Amino acid sequence: MIKPKILVTSAAGRTSTETILQLLKLGFPVRAMVRRIDVRSEKLRKAGAEIIVGDQLVFEDLRQAMKGVARAYHCPPFTPNLLENLMLFALAAEEAKLEVVALMSGWNTIAQHKSIHSRSHWIANHIYRLMPNIDVIHINPGLFAFTYFLGLPAIVNLGMFMAPLGNGYTAPPSNEDIGRVAAYAIADPKDHIDQSYHPTGPELLGPNDIANIFTTVLGRKVTYKDVPFKTFTKAAQALGFSKFEISQVNHFTEELRQGAFAVGGVTDHVERVTGSKPEPFKETARRYFNNPALIDPRLQTGTKISSLIFVAKMMFTKSFNAQEWENERDHPATKSHHLAHQNDEWVKSADTHQLNILPFLNQK
């Protein structure tokens, strides 16, 4: 039996790469959409994927990527024009008459969210559920495990894990587990249509737990230090993150600090979809410390001297007020906007691991 060709967008990204590798192992032909040819795309080509270069914000590129494709895993970019991307993809998918789309979204999406990124995901999630001809599977992880490693040089060389996380708990899934969920769901979608999967790691962890795991894996003491978000903006800019990304993380770290990502605890969704248990954070840490490119291709462990130089660079980087920055770009939160855990409907759904996004959209 000939298996249908599957399109994977953001193919060189954290979850999409694993999705592609898993689909290839399962015997599916895969078309990988990338922004450019580089080392990452070459790795996918050598693994057996068909590579297509395109811009996800150009309709003609999406149309070309979907020719001869039956299914897709769409992982939209983390950009200010997220909603535009999601709507263009939906239009192209309808035109191409795809059977099913597995859609990467976010767990903390509500209509009234302070984050324009989360609001855009909420809108898109529901519009996709109303598409007349395409079935949809939602992949909605919370805080990814890789985010705890973004300060890798200071963690490895200085024994300092600095982040604005308070004492917030979550069960962070690895990029690989998220990718496996997407792959298995789109490979055999029958039982997954209209479901919203929230893959998590196997246990709730706070920042001090994370620091203790780092200590065990590295064999040297790592200490967690809760830093003001203002300090985080300096470090994030020095690492090359955009002000848009930082402004959205501002809302997500506030949710983490206030306990939103611990609502509902641990799910069984990784095992339910893939048949195997999620990877413990300790094993994720071992792999990411050994290969920092799995976190971010720009990220290197460096040396103690280079880490100290980065700290100095961070100190001289100008901080900025994320909320003021949002206001200046005409996407401020109004008085009616709030965070996910302040929404009773979201808490009820998250606490019970409800697999359908909202009751009034359960039927087509």
Residue 250 belongs to domain with CATH number: 3.90.25.10
Of the candidates 324, 170, 309, 308, which has an alpha carbon nearest to the alpha carbon of residue 233?
324
Higher model confidence: residue 351 or residue 229? 229
Judged against a pLDDT cut of 50, whether residue 360 lies above it is answered with: no
Q: At what angle do helices 116-129 and 243-257 cross, to 10 degrees?
A: 90
Q: Examine the domain organization and report whether 286 and 308 are in the same domain.
A: yes
Domain-embedded: residue 194: no
Domain-embedded: residue 274: no
**pLDDT per residue as tens digits for the range 284-319:** 999 999 888 777 776 666 777 877 777 777 777 888
Domain-embedded: residue 242: yes
Label residue 362 by pLDDT band (50, 70, 90): very low
Domain-embedded: residue 196: no
Judged against a pLDDT cut of 70, whether residue 92 lies above it is answered with: yes
pLDDT for position 364: 37
Domain-embedded: residue 189: no
Judged against a pLDDT cut of 50, whether residue 363 lies above it is answered with: no
What mean pLDDT is reported for the chain?
91
What span, in angstroms and rounded, lies between the C-alpha atoms of 137 and 128? 10
pLDDT for position 238: 84
**pLDDT per residue as tens digits for the range 182-194:** 999 999 999 999 9
pLDDT for position 110: 92
Judged against a pLDDT cut of 60, whether residue 129 lies above it is answered with: yes
Q: Examine the domain organization and report whether 38 and 163 are in the same domain.
A: no
Judged against a pLDDT cut of 60, whether residue 71 lies above it is answered with: yes
Q: pLDDT above 90 covers what percent of the chain?
A: 72
Q: Examine the domain organization and report whether 43 and 113 are in the same domain.
A: yes
Q: Examine the domain organization and report whether 156 and 135 are in the same domain.
A: no
CB-neighbour burial class of residue 342 (10 A; exposed 0-12, middle 13-18, buried 19+):
middle
Q: Examine the domain organization and report whether 51 and 91 are in the same domain.
A: yes
Judged against a pLDDT cut of 80, whether residue 94 lies above it is answered with: yes
Judged against a pLDDT cut of 50, whether residue 359 lies above it is answered with: no
- Cβ neighbours, 10 Å, residue 265: 14
Judged against a pLDDT cut of 60, whether residue 27 lies above it is answered with: yes
Q: Torsions phi, psi of 163, nearest 5?
A: -160, 155
Residue 45 belongs to domain with CATH number: 3.40.50.720
Q: Examine the domain organization and report whether 164 and 289 are in the same domain.
A: yes
Say how many domains are in the chain. Answer: 2
**pLDDT per residue as tens digits for the range 204-220:** 999 999 999 999 999 99
Q: Examine the domain organization and report whether 309 and 294 are in the same domain.
A: yes
- Cβ neighbours, 10 Å, residue 23: 26
pLDDT for position 116: 93
Domain that holds residue 297: 145-170+201-263+280-330
Q: Examine the domain organization and report whether 45 and 64 are in the same domain.
A: yes
Of 84-88, 128-132, 252-256, 310-314, where does mean pLDDT reach its minimum? 310-314
Q: Examine the domain organization and report whether 115 and 222 are in the same domain.
A: no
Q: Examine the domain organization and report whether 122 and 210 are in the same domain.
A: no
Q: What secondary structure, in 3-state letters, does 315-329 show?
A: HHCCCCCHHHHHHHC
Question: Amino acid letter at 115?
Answer: S
Domain-embedded: residue 346: no
Among 96-100, 232-236, 340-344, 348-352, which range has the highest average pLDDT?
96-100
Please give the average per-residue pLDDT across 314-331, as a whole number: 83
CA Rg, the chain, in Å?
Answer: 20
pLDDT for position 298: 66
Q: Examine the domain organization and report whether 257 and 215 are in the same domain.
A: yes
Please give the average per-residue pLDDT across 120-135, as a whole number: 93
Q: Examine the domain organization and report whether 242 and 100 are in the same domain.
A: no
